[in-house]
Amino acid sequence: LTSSFMLNNGLSIPCVGYGTFQTPNDETCAAVLEAIKVGYRHIDTAAFYGNEEGVGEAVRKSGVPREQLFITSKVWNSDRGYEKTKAAFAKTMKNLQMEYLDLLLIHWPANRKQFGDAAKGINAETWRAMEELYQEGKIKAIGLSNFLPHHIDELMETAQIKPMVNQIEFHPGWAQTDIVEYCLKNDIVVEAWSPLGRKDALENETLKSIAAKYGKSVAQLCIRWVLQHGVLPLPKSVTPSRILENTKVFDFTIDAADMQAIDALKNIGGQCALPDEVDF
């Protein structure tokens, strides 16, 4: 793949990334091996996905030197807080069987609705543990997932290190432009989970006709649209032909009128969960 983004600590992060949400552990090794074979160098997993072992196995079997791969995992909600985050990281590394991790994210912010006034302190403590792991060199970059601007502002009141990444749901019909603007202004790379809107976009007539114009699939159009918003897409597929298809997004440009037409789409793929509302 031909593109990469630069994190605010100078680390390069390959693009497009390969998502593994909902890929069962016993299918993960084969899928990730396929992705690495066709050129992906950035694999996104999470403790919650239950497939870190499969990712680690694929990395070892791929024959690609570890330092040429960029591996992300995430701290799950039940592991928030200083001690638990440290333990969760140890478990992640045991699952992955790796010496270091490229990027660790807080999967979801602790929110006020669920935790009241304690939310801020919980996020601060999770972050403090991650800062230490970063400073010890065990993780090359640290960041957030599903954080809204007000969660980041709050975190920055106590943070020593600015997050390098915020991974959010981002796809046609759910362009969270306020979060993207905030992050880009603050030099935080935005990553898109569910860039295809969990498949709903693929049936959309507007997207179909725009994609046809460029001789591309709707999936490729969605991924390209994400890129042109300055966001790093993490498409997920377990199907070899689609894994390859989702990388062919650097040989066309969506023109301004079509970008606007896609931006104007509403209610595609809905949104999975609102960071201020979730109680899982």
- Interface residues with ligand A2P (CB under 6 A) are 19, 194-199, 202, 217, 219, 235-239, 242, 245-246
Q: Which of 18, 49, 134, 182 is catalytic?
A: 49
Q: Residue 42 annotated as binding?
A: no
Q: What is the DSSP string of 105-159?
A: EESS---HHHHTTHHHHHHHHHHHHHHHHHHTTSEEEEEEES--HHHHHHHHTT-
Residue 12: which region, alpha, beta or left (left: phi > 0; alpha: psi -120 to 50)? Answer: beta
- The count of residues in the chain is 280
Question: At its nearest, how many Å lie between ligand A2P and the CB of residue 240?
Answer: 9
Q: Output 98 or 202, the one with its CB closest to ligand A2P.
A: 202
Question: At its nearest, how many Å lie between ligand A2P and the CB of residue 177?
Answer: 18
Question: At its nearest, how many Å lie between ligand A2P and the CB of residue 244?
Answer: 9
Question: At its nearest, how many Å lie between ligand A2P and the CB of residue 210?
Answer: 15
Instruction: Specify whether 40 is catalytic.
Output: no
Measured in degrees and rounded to the nearest 5, phi and psi for residue 158 equal: -120, -10
Q: Output 27 or 187, the one with its CB closest to ligand A2P.
A: 27
Place of tokens 């969270």: 176
Q: Output 119 or 202, the one with its CB closest to ligand A2P.
A: 202
Q: Output 23 or 123, the one with its CB closest to ligand A2P.
A: 23
Feature table: binding site for substrate: 107
Residues catalogued as catalytic: 49
